[in-house]
Structure formats: structure tokens, C-alpha cells
Amino acid sequence: MKYIDVHAHMTSRTTDDYYQMALTGCVAMADPAFWSGYDHSSPEVFADYFERLTDFEPKRAAKYGLRYYTWLGMNPKEAEDRGMSREVLKIIPEFLDRPNVLGLGEIGVNRVTRNEVATFEEHAQLALDHGQMIHIHTPHLEDKYKGTQVIIDALAEETRIRPERVLVDHVEEHTIRLALDRGYWAGITLYPMTKTSHARAVDMLEMYGTERILVAGACDWGPSDPIAMPKFVLEMRRRGHPEEEIHRIVYENPIEFLKQSPRFEIPKELTPLPNPPPQGGRGQDPWTDQV
């Protein structure tokens, strides 16, 4: 079954993972700006990161016929550093016109501090000033409930927000209604240890329906699975859900949300690029690069 993974940190994954995703029906993915596992040391490093997200990665994905989109921002894990965040916010507009940029994300809060909220609000302002969509990260584990509430309250203060252009991601059973009731899209990420198992994702769809809900693999550098989506499809089938409903969740819903960005194109049939790849841009040839 064709699917679109709306949250996949491919910069953390190997080329073999692109291959696995293509083999299992993936046609496109979106990679929101992420935390590397340690804090960046300067704003210039973010510029390099954004360059990778908008130039190198799309080419690497294209080798397998995959469309690669991205969101830009300073991940909430680093949002406590106000000085750094202000510098990064100055860099982001340089990249917003790149052809695979969908908007600002993943932005939000982590430990739910005053500085994190201020950084989040400035990112949201930047998105609105530039007519961009927003992808929101909600915090982990015990911080999720209060962080989601704080984010929703902060968004409510901004009259320019169009909820249908905002994805509130990493929802679980205790936060999904907070997103849906305000008209936002709710994202369920398949990260069994710290977020949601495949079975619980199906539970939430059974309880809340398929409208304005996205499911994603959210693979990154931690314990995660680049082919979580086809496993979710299998779980839906095991639970007796019809193919058209599954297709809606893993393909049509992502298109309905993402096509609100003028840069998103509905994926065509898989057409891997020939080897060698087109020249240009920075970095090694993603098809033949050597360690």
C-alpha cells in the first residue's frame, strides 16, 4: 500500500532505510528539523543543517523515487537558549523559499519553561509572518500533558492562526482531544517505548475517527523503525479495518494536510533517478558516497 510518512528524521537514517521505505510503499516523507542528540554549538551549524535538509537529503531520497519534504526551526530540546534561538530565527527566512520546505517545525516546548515558550511563540510568529504552515512537537512522557496544554493556550492568543494548517504532533490518549477540539490536525507517532504503539494508534483511530488525524513513523537516531508505517497498516488489517480506511490514513490524510503548502506535490508513481545522480549542491554523491 502506498503511504506518506509525515514525520521521519531521515538525516539520522542510513540510505538502506530509504530503500526499505521505498520497498514497502513509501512515496514521500516529511522531515521536521530535529535535535541531534546534543546541542548545536553555533547558529552557523543550523545553517549547515538547513542546507542538508533542503539540498542533500532530497537528492538522497530521490534515488529511491521518494519525495522528501522538510520543516525548519529550532527543535524544542534546544529552545531554552534564547540567544541562540534568536540567531537561528534570523537564518530561517533564507531557506523558506527552498522547493521542499513546508513550513516551520518541529517547534514547541520540551520541559515547558518560560524560555521555551518564548522561543516557540517567536517561531510561530515567523511562520505566520511568512504564510507558513506549522508542525508542533509536544513534549515527552510526563511533560506531554502540560506542554500540550501550554502550546494550545499560546496558539489561542494568536488570531492569525488557521488551525487546519497546524499539526499538533505526538498526541496520545490524554492529549488527542486537546488538538482535535481546537480544529488542529493531530499526529500520532509510532514510537512504542516513549509515545505510541501500533495497537494504541489503531485504538485512537477507532475512538476518534479518521478526520484530521495523521500517523507517522517518526524514525530518528533513537530506538525507532523506518518501516513503522507498513507495520501499522498490517495492524489495521489485523483489526479488521477496510483497505479504503487504511489508505485514507496513510496516504490521503497526509495529502490533505500537506497540500495546503504550495510546495507539496502529490506524489506520482515511483521513478527512481538514474545513477549517477545530478551534480550540484554540497556534500558527497548520496548514491555512491563512501565512508
Partner 1 sequence: MAARAGACPLTQRELIEGFFMEHRAQIIDIAAYLDRLDRSVERDAENDFRFLAVRKAMRELSSEEPGRVERILMHLSDPVVELMDTRDRQNAFGAFPGPEKQS
Instruction: Give the binding site for partner 1 (CB under 8 A).
Output: 77, 80, 110-117, 139-146, 149-150, 172-174, 194, 200, 203, 206-208, 238-241
Q: Give the whole-angstrom CA distance, residue 124 versus residue 263.
A: 19
Pairwise CA distance, residues 282 & 161, whole Å: 36
Is residue 74 within 8 Å of residue 123, measured between CB atoms?
yes
Query: CB burial class (10 A; 0-12, 13-18, 19+) of residue 194?
Result: middle
Closest distance between partner 1 and the C-beta of residue 125, in Å?
18
**Closer by beta carbon to partner 1, 133 or else 176:** 176
Q: Supply the minimum distance, in Å, between the C-beta of residue 172 and partner 1.
A: 6
Contact between 65 and 272 under an 8 Å Cβ cutoff? The reply is yes
CA distances from 273 to 17, 75, 213 (A): 17, 32, 32
Q: CB of 27: closest distance to partner 1 in angstroms?
A: 27
- Residue closer to partner 1 (CB basis): 139 or 230: 139
Cβ 146 to partner 1 shortest distance, Å = 5
Asked if the bond preceding 269 is cis, omega within 30° of 0, the reply is no
Q: Which helix (H) or strand (E) holds 214?
A: strand 213-216
Listing DSSP states for 35-97 in one string gives --SS--SSHHHHHHHHHIIIIIHHHHHHTTT-EEEEEES--GGGTT-HHHHHHHHHHGGGGTT
User: Closest CB to partner 1 among 90 and 239?
Assistant: 239
As measured in angstroms, the least distance from the Cβ of 110 to partner 1 is: 7
**160 or 237, CB closer to partner 1?**
237
Closest CB to partner 1 among residues 102, 150: 150
Q: Which is nearer to partner 1, 240 or 274 (CB)?
A: 240
Amino acid at position 67, single letter: R
Q: How far is the CB of 178 from partner 1 (least distance, A)?
A: 11
